[in-house]
């Protein structure tokens, strides 16, 4: 019987893709490390060569961000990601401890379902395709509807480059007949081994409730604390570099600035001199009205847009030289738009008495939204930096760097990644910058080093030592008692 319903056609397409991916993955898993690496290098080269074209394609299709910055992200998602994992062992024996006599063997997971967002569409395809093939897995992409064309083209480029370099056909694929039913079938299918979910909170929750293992990321809502010892001009420059990069579409970008009373006016003056525009009360109210929808979710109309466009939506004039809009804020909450995640060049501005109260405010911001993700501190006081590291509910605490670029590993030595785990506090299964080693299981070969008699002897020895410790403690207590008695 011929299928005429789009949802049924899409479900059948997904099943066909999974079947082809299974066969391709089995052949891929039999390849040696050097052949896998050769394929990944070819994919990285293809991504780099097509970086600019796909950047313009993504910007035109989604209306988000800036092509020049998307080009950088595409190069990062292909070349930089590949270079960071080029020498990592992911096939066969990957670790061997001759002293403990334990050997670890990499076991690929199988077929990976990859959900791709509209904010970083083509760069995320490059990144996920490379780490999947590097770990000898097949991957099937489910595009965001708002970026389906550029995502499909990025997947086609990765597949063509990989297959030309020797990758089995079908190891990299993308759903063409895109429906909600197709995505659900991909996530729930029993022969899908893992879901890599990058996107909105609802989609990530769906991935975790699919019944299959998933690695998802929660929302980012990074506060940026400027502490009194910071180089203020440089700190402001880094925040603006980050928040304006691709118009703020990277989830690790700053969402709030927190500073201390003693340097407040200097920080404000520096933002103004570098292109920050502080909204008055009426302007802030107008911008607040367009940041979130009535449902409490981020308004997609502001995502990746310029300050001038956001001003147009809010019916307020914004000068052409303005880089970022800032609103003075004192509150935190679901109904306080400036305290929430805003994937555009808009920042909340908070002032606290000192670093201790600033620390508490940052935790309130994160616990309201963004727990487990990222925080950045600008400071030259190592003791304050360490206190922040000990207390903050984040997986990445960045120091003196642009948050968006530091979080993904472009300006720090974190693993270059476009999927940033948020750990248990953020509802994620990992707190890592996700890479190929997150996409393998480890088979452990463990040699026997003791016999049963040895275990019994160990237990007997431990019990004897424990008895001696208790006896020594008793003697010391009695001796101490006698000494205290003589003193009295």
Size of the chain in residues: 488
Contacts of 197 (CB under 8 A, 6+ apart): 115, 203, 204, 207, 208, 214, 215, 216, 217
Q: pLDDT at residue 474 above 80?
A: no
Helices (H), 50-147: 51-62, 67-75, 81-85, 121-134
Confidence of residue 488 (pLDDT cuts 50, 70, 90): very low
Region for 223 from its dihedrals, namely left if φ exceeds 0, alpha if ψ lies in -120 to 50, beta otherwise: beta
Half-sphere exposure of 132 (CA within 13 A, CB side): 33
| pLDDT, position 300 | 93
Catalytic: 251?
yes
Confidence of residue 473 (pLDDT cuts 50, 70, 90): confident
Out of 40, 167, 174, 251, pick the active-site residue: 251
3-state secondary structure (DSSP) of residue 399: strand
Mean pLDDT of 67-87: 97
3-state secondary structure (DSSP) of residue 178: coil
Helices (H), 335-488: 355-368, 382-391, 403-407, 452-487
| pLDDT, position 60 | 97
- Which of 130-144, 219-233, 422-436 is predicted least confidently? 422-436
Mean pLDDT of 352-375: 96
Instruction: Return the closest-CA partner of residue 109 out of 479, 403, 338, 441.
Output: 441
Give the Cα separation of 380 and 136 in Å (integer): 43
Confidence of residue 467 (pLDDT cuts 50, 70, 90): low
Q: pLDDT at residue 461 above 80?
A: no
Contact status, residue 151 vs residue 122, Cβ threshold 8 Å: yes
Residue range 280-328, pLDDT digits in tens: 999 999 999 999 998 889 999 999 999 999 999 999 999 999 999 999 9
Give the Cα separation of 376 and 379 in Å (integer): 10
Confidence of residue 453 (pLDDT cuts 50, 70, 90): confident
Contacts of 255 (CB under 8 A, 6+ apart): 220, 221, 222, 223, 340, 341, 342, 347, 348, 365, 370
pTM for the structure as a whole: 0.91
Residue range 143-173, pLDDT digits in tens: 999 999 999 999 999 999 999 999 999 999 9
The full set of domains in the chain, from first to last, is 6-217+435-443 (3.40.605.10), 222-408 (3.40.309.10)
Residue range 401-416, pLDDT digits in tens: 999 999 999 999 999 9
> What mean pLDDT value characterizes the chain?
93
Contacts of 343 (CB under 8 A, 6+ apart): 119, 248, 249, 251, 253, 298, 302, 303, 304
3-state secondary structure (DSSP) of residue 377: strand
């Amino acid at each position: 019987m011929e299928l005429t319903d789009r949802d049924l056609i899409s479900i059948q397409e997904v099943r066909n893709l999974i079947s082809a991916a299974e066969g391709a993955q089995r052949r891929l898993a039999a390849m040696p490390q050097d052949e896998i690496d050769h394929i990944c290098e070819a994919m990285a080269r293809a991504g780099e060569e097509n970086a600019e074209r796909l950047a313009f394609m993504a910007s035109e299709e989604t209306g988000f961000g800036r092509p020049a910055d998307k080009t950088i992200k595409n190069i990062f998602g292909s070349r930089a990601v590949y270079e960071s994992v080029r020498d990592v062992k992911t096939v066969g024996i990957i670790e061997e401890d001759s002293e403990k006599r334990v050997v670890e063997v990499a076991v690929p997971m199988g077929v990976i379902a990859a959900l791709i967002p509209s904010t970083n569409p083509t760069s995320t395809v490059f990144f996920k395709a490379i780490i999947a093939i590097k770990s000898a897995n097949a991957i099937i992409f489910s595009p965001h509807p708002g970026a389906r064309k550029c995502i499909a083209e990025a997947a086609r480029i990765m597949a063509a480059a990989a297959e030309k370099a020797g990758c089995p056909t079908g190891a990299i694929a993308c759903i063409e007949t895109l429906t909600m039913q197709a995505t659900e079938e991909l996530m729930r299918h029993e022969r899908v081994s893992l879901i890599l979910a990058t996107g909105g909170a609802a989609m990530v929750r769906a991935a975790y409730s699919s019944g299959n293992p998933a690695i998802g990321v929660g929302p980012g809502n990074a506060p940026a604390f400027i502490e009194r010892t910071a180089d203020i001009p440089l700190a402001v420059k880094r925040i603006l570099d980050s928040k304006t990069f691709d118009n703020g579409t990277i989830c690790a970008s700053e969402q709030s600035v927190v500073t201390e009373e003693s340097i407040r006016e200097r920080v404000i003056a520096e933002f103004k001199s570098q292109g920050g525009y502080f909204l008055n009360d009426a302007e802030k109210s107008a911008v607040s009205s367009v940041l979130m929808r009535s449902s409490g979710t981020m308004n997609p109309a502001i995502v990746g847009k310029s300050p001038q466009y956001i001003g147009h939506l809010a019916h307020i004039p914004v000068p052409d030289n303005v880089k970022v809009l800032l609103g003075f804020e004192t509150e935190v909450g679901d109904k306080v738009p400036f305290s929430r995640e805003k994937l555009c060049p808009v920042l909340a501005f908070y002032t606290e008495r000192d670093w201790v109260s600033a620390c508490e405010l940052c935790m309130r911001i994160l616990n309201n939204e963004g727990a487990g993700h990222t925080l950045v501190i600008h400071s030259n006081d190592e003791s304050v930096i360490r206190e922040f590291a000990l207390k903050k509910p984040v997986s990445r605490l960045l120091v003196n760097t642009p948050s968006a670029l530091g979080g993904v590993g472009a300006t720090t030595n974190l693993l270059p990644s476009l999927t940033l785990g948020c750990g248990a506090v953020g509802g994620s299964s990992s707190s890592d910058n996700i890479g190929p080693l997150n996409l393998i299981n480890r088979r452990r070969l463990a040699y026997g080093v003791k016999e049963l008699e040895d275990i019994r002897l160990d237990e007997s020895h431990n019990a004897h030592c424990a008895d001696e410790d208790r006896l020594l403690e008793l003697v010391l207590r009695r001796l101490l008692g006698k000494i205290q008695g003589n003193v009295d």
